[in-house]
Structure 1
Amino acid sequence: MTNAELNELKQRYVASGAASPATHFAARAKNAEIWDADGKRFIDFAGGIGVLNIGHCHPKVVDAVKAQLDKVMHTCQTVMPYEGYVKVAEKLSQIVPVRGHAKVMLANSGAEALENAVKVARAATGKTNVICFDGGYHGRTFMTMAMNGKVSPYQTDFGPMPGTVFRAPYPVPYHGVSEDEALRGLKMALKTDANPKDTAAIVLEPVLGEGGFYPAPASFLKAIREICDEHGMLMIVDEVQSGFGRTGKMFAIEHSGVEPDIMTMAKSMADGMPISAVVGTDKHMDASGGNSLGGTYTGSPVSCAAALAVLEVFEEEGILEKSQTLGDKLAKRFATWQQQFDCVDNARNMGAMAAFDLVSDKANHTPDADLTAALCKKAREKGLVLLSCGMYGNSIRFLMPVTIEDEILEEGLAIIEDSLKELVGNKASATA
Structure 2
Amino acid sequence: MTTTTEFSTLSWGQVDLNKVPEINTPLPGPKSVAYHDRCTEYFKGLSGQVKLFPVTFTKGEGCVLQDADGNQYIDFSSGIYVTTLGHCHPKISEAIAQHAKTLMNAHDFTTPIKTALCEKLAEVLPGDLNGFQFYDSGTTAVEAGLRVLRAASNKNEIISCFYDYHGKSYGSVSLGHIRSSVYGSVRAPGMHMVPRPDVYRPIWVDENGTIDTDAYIRFYDEYINKGTVHDVAGFCLEPIQGWGGTVMPPDDFFPKLRQYCDDKGLLLMIDEVLASWGRTGKWLCMEHWDVTPDIVTIGKGFGNGFPVTCVAVSEKYKESFEAISASSSYGGNPMACAAALASTEVIEEENLLEHAMHLGDIANKRMERMLNEHNIVGDVRAKGCLMGIELVKDKSTKEPFNEAGAMVYKKAFAKGLAWIPAGHILRMSPPIVMDDDTLLKGLDIIDEAIGETAQELGY
Query: TM-score with structure 2 length normalisation?
Result: 0.87
1:92 aligns with 2:121: yes
* SS of aligned partner of 1:13: coil
| CA distance in 1 between partners of 2:138 and 2:168 (Å) | 9
Q: Which residue of 1 aligns with 2:153?
A: 125
1:117-266 counterparts in 2 under 5 A?
Answer: 117-148=145-176, 150-152=177-179, 155-159=180-184, 160-177=186-203, 178=211, 179-196=213-230, 198-266=231-299
Encode CA deviations 1:131-190: one digit per residue, 9 max, x unaligned: 001111110111000011x134xx344314311101111101321324233223211221
Q: Which residue of 1 aligns with 2:13?
A: none
Contact in 1 for aligned 2:148/2:324 (Cα 8 Å): no
| CA distance in 1 between partners of 2:141 and 2:79 (Å) | 18
1:286 aligns with 2:286: no
Q: Which residue of 2 aligns with 1:15?
A: 44
Between 272-281 and 158-167, report the one with greater CA deviation.
158-167
| CA distance in 1 between partners of 2:341 and 2:187 (Å) | 36
Give the superposition deviation at 1:274. Answer: 0.3
| CA distance in 2 between partners of 1:264 and 1:46 (Å) | 21
- Counterpart of 1:14, as a letter, is F
1:44 aligns with 2:75: yes
Q: Which residue of 1 aligns with 2:111?
A: 82
Instruction: Tell me which of 19, 28, 32 is aligned to 1:3.
Output: 32
Q: 1:288 to 1:7 in 2, by over 3 A?
A: closer
| CA distance in 2 between partners of 1:425 and 1:335 (Å) | 20
1:363 aligns with 2:396: yes
Contact in 1 for aligned 2:33/2:56 (Cα 8 Å): no
* SS of aligned partner of 2:453: helix
Encode CA deviations 1:249-304: one digit per residue, 9 max, x unaligned: 22111111112111111000011000110101133121253671011001121111
1:292-311 counterparts in 2 under 5 A?
Answer: 292-311=325-344
* SS of aligned partner of 1:250: coil
| CA distance in 2 between partners of 1:291 and 1:217 (Å) | 35
Contact in 2 for aligned 1:96/1:279 (Cα 8 Å): no
| CA distance in 2 between partners of 1:300 and 1:32 (Å) | 28
Gaps of 5+ in 2: 2-30, 204-210
Contact in 1 for aligned 2:366/2:440 (Cα 8 Å): no
Encode CA deviations 1:370-424: one digit per residue, 9 max, x unaligned: 10111111111222112133xxx31112101011133332332222122122211
1:112 aligns with 2:158: no
| CA distance in 1 between partners of 2:88 and 2:321 (Å) | 38
| CA distance in 2 between partners of 1:274 and 1:289 (Å) | 24
Instruction: Give the number of equivalent residue pairs.
Output: 418
Give the superposition deviation at 1:195. Answer: 4.1
Give the superposition deviation at 1:202. Answer: 0.6
Q: Which residue of 2 aligns with 1:319?
A: 352
Residue identity (%): 30
* SS of aligned partner of 2:346: helix
Contact in 1 for aligned 2:359/2:439 (Cα 8 Å): no
Q: Which residue of 2 aligns with 1:406?
A: 436
Q: Which residue of 1 aligns with 2:12?
A: none
- Counterpart of 2:122, as a letter, is S
Encode CA deviations 1:79-135: one digit per residue, 9 max, x unaligned: x3212222222211222224x362101111111111111101111111001000111
| CA distance in 2 between partners of 1:366 and 1:68 (Å) | 51
Encode CA deviations 1:216-250: one digit per residue, 9 max, x unaligned: 23422122112222222211111111111121222
Query: TM-score with structure 1 length normalisation?
Result: 0.92
* SS of aligned partner of 2:183: coil
* SS of aligned partner of 2:144: helix
Encode CA deviations 1:321-343: one digit per residue, 9 max, x unaligned: 11011111111111111121111
Please report the RMSD computed on the Cα atoms of aligned residues, expressed in angstroms.
2.0
| CA distance in 1 between partners of 2:133 and 2:199 (Å) | 36
Q: 1:406 to 1:220 in 2, by over 3 A?
A: closer
- Counterpart of 2:68, as a letter, is A
Q: 1:17 to 1:38 in 2, by over 3 A?
A: closer
| CA distance in 2 between partners of 1:156 and 1:325 (Å) | 43
Between 310-319 and 377-386, report the one with greater CA deviation.
377-386
Q: 1:346 to 1:426 in 2, by over 3 A?
A: same
| CA distance in 1 between partners of 2:84 and 2:73 (Å) | 17
- Counterpart of 1:418, as a letter, is E
Gaps of 5+ in 1: none
1:60 aligns with 2:86: no
Q: 1:221 to 1:290 in 2, by over 3 A?
A: closer
* SS of aligned partner of 1:397: strand
- Counterpart of 1:151, as a letter, is I
